[in-house]
Amino acid sequence: MKKIVAFNGSPRPAGNTSHLLSKFIEGANENQIEIEVLHPQRLNLEYCTGCLRCNVLRRCSIRDDDWAEVSSKIVNADVLVFAAPVYFHHVPAPMKAMLDRFRSFINVQITETGLIHTPWHTWNKDFVLILSLGSSDAVDADPVIELFRYMTSILGENNRLHIITATRLAVVKQVIKTEEELRELYQKMRLSPQLAPVDFLRNQELLEACRELGAKIARRI
């Protein structure tokens, strides 16, 4: 059976990220597919030490943590989902620490003009990036998007990247609040209550976009 491995990078168990990811999973579950959700902050993962031995070993040299198991799940997955809140224009630290370990999936050769990246495995995966932000401006997510464009390309030219950015979600569970709840919240936050119906609709559209993407990807693989 085809497999989705999803990483939920939010430290808030019932936060916006979790709700957006749940919708993606709901859509994917409309098809016969195996889905596993992992939380980088709950995994025992050391930081990359920069030893670069992976360039020869074809695996990470750190052996006494969860990476061997997690990396094998990553390699065997058809779809990798990275759902996270944006923290200071990036993903939260546990997810970034995990992403640094992806260095062990590739050989890097230094040339006079730049770097040549050769993945140890043949990668042909869908990467899904679901980002939740407090800001109204999705520009805060640009460094994360840039990183994932880079990573998906160096891990194999056949990889595909799908991105959903969910803005104006500063408060926990904001994405699932009713129009009335948003109006009350915006009054407390001294935001125009006129934003409530607009944001309510937009949040519904975002949740539906996550569900549709899950269904579309699970149908295709």
Ligand X SMILES: Cc1cc2nc3c(=O)[nH]c(=O)nc-3n(C[C@H](O)[C@H](O)[C@H](O)COP(=O)(O)O)c2cc1C
For ligand X, the binding residues (CB under 6 A) are: 10, 12, 15-17, 85-89, 132-135, 140, 169-170, 172
The secondary structure of 82-151 as a DSSP string is EEEE-BTTB--HHHHHHHHGGGGGEEEEE-SS-EEEEESS----EEEEEEE-SSS-GGGGHHHHHHHHHH
C-alpha 184/C-alpha 191 separation (Å) is 10
Whether residue 126 contacts residue 78, with contact meaning beta carbons closer than 8 Å, is answered with yes
**Nearest distance from residue 172's CB to ligand X, in Å?**
5
Q: CB-wise, 14 or 57, nearer to ligand X?
A: 14
Indicate the residue among 29 and 135 with the shorter CB distance to ligand X.
Answer: 135
Residue number with CB closer to ligand X (147 or 172)? 172
Q: Which residue is nearest to ligand X (CB)?
A: 15
* Shortest spacing between CB 107 and ligand X, in angstroms: 34
Nearest distance in Å: CB 189, ligand X: 12
In whole angstroms, what is the distance from residue 59 CA to residue 61 CA?
A: 6
Q: Decide whether 28 or 84 has the Cβ nearer to ligand X.
A: 84
**In whole angstroms, what is the distance from residue 99 CA to residue 146 CA?**
13
The number of C-alpha atoms within 13 Å of 10 and in the hemisphere containing its C-beta is: 21
Smaller CB distance to ligand X: residue 40 or 85? 85
Residue 142: CB minimum distance to ligand X, A: 11
* Least Å from the CB of residue 143 to ligand X: 9
Q: How far apart are CA 152 and CA 202, in angstroms?
A: 28
| Shortest distance (Å) from residue 76 CB to ligand X | 27
Quick count: other Cβ atoms within 10 Å of Cβ 61? 13
CA angle 188, 194, 197 (to 5 degrees): 100
Nearest CB to ligand X, comparing residues 87 and 127: 87
